[in-house]
Chain A
């Protein structure tokens, strides 16, 4: 079996098991009580997997360096919170006929809306900026991320700089890991499809790809939109897990965090990136006592890694797993 399928099975199994772990006191299955701290770490790990896998679609497989992932996450977070918090009461009454299922239905609607809004934002950002290359694109995506943040900061109806409080806690382990599995599946099968080879071609040599008749801009925008969509889903899950969002939480630093996961895992390796996202989330918790040293160590690691192993820590190790189809040149 290919590692991607193994990974997918593991995550899917985890997701289906975790549907029983609600973490709420009134859990259906009393044995399945998780302590809150661990629950939060597992939720965060799932959200980070979605973020890293979706950014890998853009940065890893298509070779376009985006530094604005936190911006799309913010669009998803605010978009979904607008449905469940700001318009929550009205909409709950509208869907009152669903009875007890109404909040869950509203939440799923909000998550989907968050994803779609982020995808639209991705389209709006991608269309003009993806004509640029390399470091210019990095700066422009960074700029767009910052513009989104500044706009949120100055929109009073969304809480402005104070942020938005009172978002209902709806994110569960099941939701998070099901979406994580979905993102791994979607990105993995998209890239491995006949159509998807175009992404790799754009990454490997854009001029050659264009000469072979690949519509490079369309591919780049597609990758960007898919990546933004999942970032929006992650943002929606994050908003309904933390219950409080503020523009500061989606700054450039957050984008860099995700970039570090992708680089550590190895650009263009879904398995590596997934492992890196989970690993870094746990490492963050282990090192929480040494907060200041942690960031210094991570940045040093990034520099040393780029000099000695630019393919990432985990990236090409997956190649040694049995039965792996070679995809890289």
Chain B
């Protein structure tokens, strides 16, 4: 039982990261109806910008308490990625607004590759160590459970970010405009919603959440490289589809379910009789099963195709 709870804790902190990335996919899908393939690479840029931010800030913030400097790094990474997301949307996706979805998808693959290989050019291909923003220590839990302070912080800050997002989407005018656009873009435009501003805002918001996820991910695994975004990006997409793409609670639930499921499969691989190497396959098998049996996801609405 203890081991199971331990796996659950590990799975939830991984799942919170997936959930944060998945929100970016699902929000962009909500307003633009396309899969932003480059989202995973924005996540990667988030990790690198946090690393450099931490390095630059270190001399100035030495006297500050650790939580404050870590918060500054997190904020800097989120801001940089929000700007990157808006820039990518303006340069690459905006000219394609009325084009077929496949054209946009291919462009997104191009953007993803561009970010990866530019990062490789600038930062080098070898994995880099991520500075520990907060000294890791174990919070002795009940009955020999191991919970590190970073895991606890990941869960706590993710919950705060999700609450903030919920506030933005449900309580602000911009959130109202976003919801209107995902319901019916044309009608929203006729009601005076400025499409371009809403789309830019959505990209910025999603990218900032991806950057936060990247800081957490890098703090947990302590190594970053230019291709680190590929797998978490794809898995987060699976999480978004699992929850029903376009639905915010769905993306959160999907991320947590995927994180827990993946950790459990690895943790109990001996019991299941498979190699732990199948870790990366879990998400894709799950994706295929959802699309076959419930393509609209857990929280999604079924959309009929009209001629």
The residue in A154, A298, A303 that gathers the most chain B C-beta atoms within 10 A of its C-beta is A303
Q: Is the CB of B110 within 8 A of A139?
A: no
Q: Is the CB of A147 within 8 A of B285?
A: yes
Kindly state the separation between the CA atoms of A153 and B121 in the bound complex, as whole angstroms. Answer: 28
With contact pairs A143-B284, A144-B288 given, residues A303 and B114 touching in the complex (Cβ less than 8 Å): yes
Q: Is the CB of A147 within 8 A of B284?
A: yes
B277 closest partner in A (C-beta): A154
User: Which one of A144, A256, A292, A310 lies within 8 Å of B113 (CB-CB)?
Assistant: A256
- Does A307 interact with chain B (Cβ within 8 Å)? yes
The residue in A207, A252, A296 that gathers the most chain B C-beta atoms within 10 A of its C-beta is A296
Kindly state the separation between the CA atoms of A147 and B110 in the bound complex, as whole angstroms. Answer: 23
Kindly state the separation between the CA atoms of A302 and B120 in the bound complex, as whole angstroms. Answer: 18
With contact pairs A140-B287, A147-B284 given, residues A293 and B121 touching in the complex (Cβ less than 8 Å): yes
Q: Is the CB of A142 within 8 A of B234?
A: yes
A217 to chain B, nearest CB (A): 14
Task: List the one stretch of A23-31, A41-49, A127-135 in contact with chain B.
Answer: A127-135
Task: List the one stretch of B11-19, B52-60, B94-102, B161-169 in contact with chain A.
Answer: B94-102
Kindly state the separation between the CA atoms of A303 and B107 in the bound complex, as whole angstroms. Answer: 5
B288 to chain A, nearest CB (A): 6
* Residues in A neighbouring B95, C-beta threshold 8 A: 307
User: Which one of B106, B234, B295 lies within 8 Å of A263 (CB-CB)?
Assistant: B106
Q: Is the CB of B96 within 8 A of A296?
A: no
With contact pairs A132-B295, A134-B105, A303-B107 given, residues A146 and B117 touching in the complex (Cβ less than 8 Å): no
The residue in A136, A154, A299 that gathers the most chain B C-beta atoms within 10 A of its C-beta is A299
With contact pairs A154-B277, A295-B117, A299-B114 given, residues A306 and B96 touching in the complex (Cβ less than 8 Å): yes
Kindly state the separation between the CA atoms of A140 and B121 in the bound complex, as whole angstroms. Answer: 30
Q: Is the CB of B275 within 8 A of A296?
A: no
* Residues in B neighbouring A303, C-beta threshold 8 A: 92, 107, 110-111, 114
With contact pairs A150-B280, A150-B281 given, residues A139 and B287 touching in the complex (Cβ less than 8 Å): yes
User: Which one of B106, B114, B234, B285 lies within 8 Å of A300 (CB-CB)?
Assistant: B114
* Residues in A neighbouring B103, C-beta threshold 8 A: 306, 310
With contact pairs A303-B107, A307-B96 given, residues A140 and B281 touching in the complex (Cβ less than 8 Å): no
Interface string of B205-232 (1 = CB under 8 A from A): 0000000000000000000000000100
Q: Is the CB of A129 within 8 A of B288?
A: yes
* Residues in B neighbouring A298, C-beta threshold 8 A: 113
- Does B187 interact with chain A (Cβ within 8 Å)? no
Interface string of B294-307 (1 = CB under 8 A from A): 01000000000101
* Residues in A neighbouring B101, C-beta threshold 8 A: 134-135
- Does B239 interact with chain A (Cβ within 8 Å)? no
A251 to chain B, nearest CB (A): 9
- Does B268 interact with chain A (Cβ within 8 Å)? no
* Residues in A neighbouring B105, C-beta threshold 8 A: 65, 134-135, 138
Interface string of B98-139 (1 = CB under 8 A from A): 010111111101111110011011000000000000000000
With contact pairs A135-B35, A135-B101, A292-B121 given, residues A302 and B275 touching in the complex (Cβ less than 8 Å): no
Interface string of B261-289 (1 = CB under 8 A from A): 00000000000001101101101110110
- Does A259 interact with chain B (Cβ within 8 Å)? yes
B265 to chain A, nearest CB (A): 12
- Does A151 interact with chain B (Cβ within 8 Å)? yes
Kindly state the separation between the CA atoms of A150 and B104 in the bound complex, as whole angstroms. Answer: 29
Q: From DSSP, what is the main secondary structure of chain B's interface residues?
A: helix
- Does B183 interact with chain A (Cβ within 8 Å)? no
* Residues in A neighbouring B156, C-beta threshold 8 A: none
With contact pairs A146-B281, A146-B284 given, residues A306 and B110 touching in the complex (Cβ less than 8 Å): yes
Kindly state the separation between the CA atoms of A129 and B113 in the bound complex, as whole angstroms. Answer: 25
Kindly state the separation between the CA atoms of A113 and B114 in the bound complex, as whole angstroms. Answer: 37
Q: Is the CB of B288 within 8 A of A134?
A: no
Chain B residues 25 to 42 lying within 8 A of chain A, measured CB to CB, are 34-35
* Residues in B neighbouring A300, C-beta threshold 8 A: 110, 114
Kindly state the separation between the CA atoms of A143 and B287 in the bound complex, as whole angstroms. Answer: 8
* Residues in B neighbouring A136, C-beta threshold 8 A: 241, 291, 295
Interface string of A65-89 (1 = CB under 8 A from B): 1000000000000000000000000
* Residues in B neighbouring A139, C-beta threshold 8 A: 35, 234, 237, 241, 287
A294 to chain B, nearest CB (A): 9
Kindly state the separation between the CA atoms of A28 and B277 in the bound complex, as whole angstroms. Answer: 48
Kindly state the separation between the CA atoms of A306 and B100 in the bound complex, as whole angstroms. Answer: 11
Kindly state the separation between the CA atoms of A294 and B184 in the bound complex, as whole angstroms. Answer: 41
- Does B292 interact with chain A (Cβ within 8 Å)? yes
Q: Is the CB of B291 within 8 A of A140?
A: yes
With contact pairs A65-B105, A292-B121, A299-B110 given, residues A128 and B278 touching in the complex (Cβ less than 8 Å): no
* Residues in A neighbouring B295, C-beta threshold 8 A: 132, 136
> Chain A interface (Cβ within 8 Å of chain B)?
65, 128-129, 132, 134-136, 138-140, 142-144, 146-147, 150-151, 153-154, 161, 207, 252, 256, 259, 263, 292-293, 295-296, 298-300, 302-303, 306-307, 310
> Chain B interface (Cβ within 8 Å of chain A)?
34-35, 92, 95-96, 99, 101-107, 109-114, 117-118, 120-121, 230, 234, 237-238, 241, 274-275, 277-278, 280-281, 283-285, 287-288, 291-292, 295, 305, 307
Other contacts beyond A138-B35, A146-B281: 5, CB < 8 A: A65-B105, A150-B277, A154-B278, A299-B112, A303-B92
10 tightest A-B CB contacts, nearest first:
A143-B284, A302-B110, A299-B113, A299-B114, A295-B117, A303-B110, A150-B281, A154-B277, A306-B107, A154-B275
A–B Cβ pairs within 8 angstroms, 19 of them = A132-B291, A135-B35, A138-B35, A139-B234, A139-B241, A140-B287, A144-B288, A147-B281, A154-B278, A207-B305, A292-B120, A296-B114, A299-B110, A303-B107, A303-B111, A306-B106, A307-B92, A307-B95, A310-B103
